[in-house]
Amino acid sequence: MGEMNLLKHELRLLFRQRLTSLSLMLLALLTVTSILAGIAEVDRQRADIAAIPAAQNEDISAIASWIDEDKDPGSAAYYSFHPTWDEPSPLAFAAIGMRDVSPYILRVRALSLEAQIYDGDTFNPELALPGQFDFAFVLVFLAPLFVIVLFHDLVSGEREARRARTLEALPRGGRALWRRRSALRFGLLWLVLAAPFTTTAIIENVGAAPIALILVTIAAYLFFWVGLAALIDRLRWSSVANAATLSAAWLVLVLIVPTLANVAINRAIPVNQGTEIAMANQEVVHGAWEIPREDTMERFYANHPRWSDSEPLGPDFHYKWYFAFHQNGDEAVAPQARAYRQGLEGRDAHARALGWVLPSVGVQALLTRIAGTDLTAQLAYQDRIRAFHERLRNFYYEYLFYDRPFGKDDFDRAPRFGSS
Amino acid sequence: MISNNAVISLSEMIVAYDALPVLDGLTLGVPAGSITALLGGNGAGKSTTLATLLGFVQARSGTVSVCGIDPAIDPDAARRKIAYLPENVALYDHLTAQENAEYLLALSDQKPDADAISRAFASAGLQEGAWRHRLGAFSKGMRQKVAIAVALLREVPVLLLDEPTSGLDPAATADFNALLSQVRDRGTAVLMVTHDLLSAADVADRIVFLESGQVTDDVAADGPDRFDVRALHARFQSARGPVAA
């Protein structure tokens, strides 16, 4: 009874302080807004993905009739685009992660794949700098500021108002009082962040385990900042000095160190740009026009003996040669593509390791990992594209290398992304 | 000497901040139903005496007891027996007088009803119109009355006061002294520290002079005039030694 009564009084005291009430309301507003922004982004992506079948039918219909006239499989393979997509996870609304800078829909042709994949790397990097305004952003970057507002004067404020002695002289004052007030503020901050998140996550059909994990993550991250505030409060500085010190700590731990660490990791693990792979790929592909066609076919058959029983090239243009040098182009840059991927994974691994000592980095990495919006998810999507593209090539090659006519009905037999 | 019925007792107390002794063998007892004024200049050890009773500071040697409890060992238990009024009564400006009282009493594990709080405010002389007003516009005297009402409601055997009439106007001081006498008559042991001899002489049953952490004089009220203030002043001055020009 006593503890509940005290909590009731502490709540009244807390909400009568204008700065505290406004801070909590502002954090609630930012949390809800960030979640709504995340939902809007995810809904937009889902709508784009949902529109794919209709658009695909329209595209294929536009070429199917004239393809059907001369039944050339090369034209069918060359002119038809096939969509791939990366469906957002139910939790993507909370941490958009790489989904706002990396493509979540890629329409591929049976041509050289690397250039198609890495053309997506030519986004404006400035757009990626501030990051998406999502729940992860509010938690990682903004929530610590609210901890500072609510905790910087927890004890020092009472000292400065000359109430500390009065409170400490009461049986349930002193340390128990500071613990109670800390717990209350901590609980309110957690609630303001957790309640909108949990409600939305349930609506989005997120499983109980990821929700629980994120709720624990929110609590742990807040606890880190509350602990830091308590540590600084033990120095018995003024409230202004506490606030300044905590703000500096925020600047260092949330902005400066992660940025410097990112620069250091990027320098330690140099990675070529994806566009360089695309360009190298294009150079090999375009160079094929300058070399004897037989050389191209020889190289292709050496790597893909499955098609080597195809008729030799005649004097006229044949699409199988064209597609062969495209595939040769992919294979020529395969080591670069592997190195690029390993470099990205290496950087990601270092960033994750940094997360063990830098909570802001760790929380961000954890949220995007749980939400399936991190680099791992992005690379997994690329893997799915590559697997699909291989099926696509093999489908068209059956027609191309054996000179089988390709009618409009054959489009229906083309592999579909997402189906095996 | 400490009487056997002393509710507050300190014996041969030595308290030092670093190497500097603040209480230097202090022995003092305050019986129930009495008001003892502890008088002394700055640095005499008055506030440290209160801090020791509240368990805020640890003695280097000696014994201290509040209703038989050693505050150094069990400060929370000792504080349950003590109502403490600091020199500057600082309460929460954004709460009303009643809400302040409710909160401070909740921190004392008490939940009195609104009527009891109203009666205490009335006893403390706080005008009824002010009870449900926020403290932001209260004078020091009015704040003091809120705090004394809380002390009354706590109904504890010990009341510690730190410069209670400092900054109060004469009328408010008279009201406060009258209230203090009522508290004493209820059987509370009151220990007030002050540097104001006249204020002490007005209300105390006994005045203890403190200098450099030691008792230099101990005078009990006597007869209808209680204290001979001129004589007290002379003793006080001689105890403190000549004042440098």
Helices (H) and strands (E) in chain B, counts: 8, 9
Q: Report the mean per-residue pLDDT for chain A.
A: 92
More reliable by pLDDT, A325 or B165: A325
Q: By the 8 A CB rule, do B125 and B58 touch?
A: no
A234 touches chain B (CB under 8 A): no
| Residue A320, pLDDT score | 94
| Residue B4, pLDDT score | 62
Average pLDDT score over residue span B223-241: 72
When pLDDT is cut at 50, 70 and 90, the band that residue B245 belongs to is very low
Sheet-wide strand order for B6-17: B20-31, B6-17, B61-66
| Residue B231, pLDDT score | 76
DSSP H or E run through B80: helix B75-80
Given B88, B92, B107, which is nearest A173 (Cβ)? B107
Average pLDDT score over residue span B1-16: 83
Disruptive mutation site among B107, B117, B160, B191 for chain A (greatest number of A CBs within 10 Å): B107
Predicted confidence (pLDDT) at residue A111 exceeds the cutoff of 50: yes
Q: How far is B171 from chain A (nearest CA, A)?
A: 25
Phi, psi angle pair for A417, to nearest 5°: -65, 135
When pLDDT is cut at 50, 70 and 90, the band that residue B140 belongs to is confident
Domain ranges of chain A: 1-420
When pLDDT is cut at 50, 70 and 90, the band that residue A204 belongs to is very high
Given A165, A172, A177, which is nearest B86 (Cβ)? A165
Predicted confidence (pLDDT) at residue A125 exceeds the cutoff of 50: no
**Complex ipTM value:** 0.85
A110-114, A236-240, B88-92: the lowest-pLDDT one:
B88-92
Domain ranges of chain B: 1-81+157-245, 88-155
Average pLDDT score over residue span A51-73: 92
A171 touches chain B (CB under 8 A): yes
| Angle ∠(A379,A380,A385) on CA atoms, nearest 5 | 95
A184 touches chain B (CB under 8 A): no
Average pLDDT score over residue span A341-349: 92
Which residues in chain A have their CB less than 8 angstroms from residue B82's CB?
169
- Domain B1-81+157-245 sits in which CATH superfamily? P-loop containing nucleotide triphosphate hydrolases (3.40.50.300)
Report the percent of chain A where pLDDT is more than 70: 96
Average pLDDT score over residue span A34-58: 96
When pLDDT is cut at 50, 70 and 90, the band that residue B123 belongs to is confident
When pLDDT is cut at 50, 70 and 90, the band that residue B244 belongs to is very low
Predicted confidence (pLDDT) at residue A124 exceeds the cutoff of 50: no
Average pLDDT score over residue span A364-375: 95
Report the percent of chain B where pLDDT is more than 70: 95
| Residue B125, pLDDT score | 84
A12 touches chain B (CB under 8 A): yes
Cβ contact, residue pair A167, B107, below 8 Å:
yes
Residue with tokens 């006061």: B161
Which residues in chain B have their CB less than 8 angstroms from residue A167's CB?
107
Predicted confidence (pLDDT) at residue A139 exceeds the cutoff of 90: yes
State which amino acid sits at residue B225: D
Report the percent of chain B where pLDDT is more than 90: 49
Tell me the pLDDT tens digit for each residue of A381-420: 999 999 999 999 999 999 999 999 999 999 999 999 985 4
Average pLDDT score over residue span B180-209: 90
Which residues in chain A have their CB less than 8 angstroms from residue B90's CB?
161-163, 166
Q: By the 8 A CB rule, do B131 and B97 touch?
A: yes
Which residues in chain A have their CB less than 8 angstroms from residue B111's CB?
5
| Residue B137, pLDDT score | 86
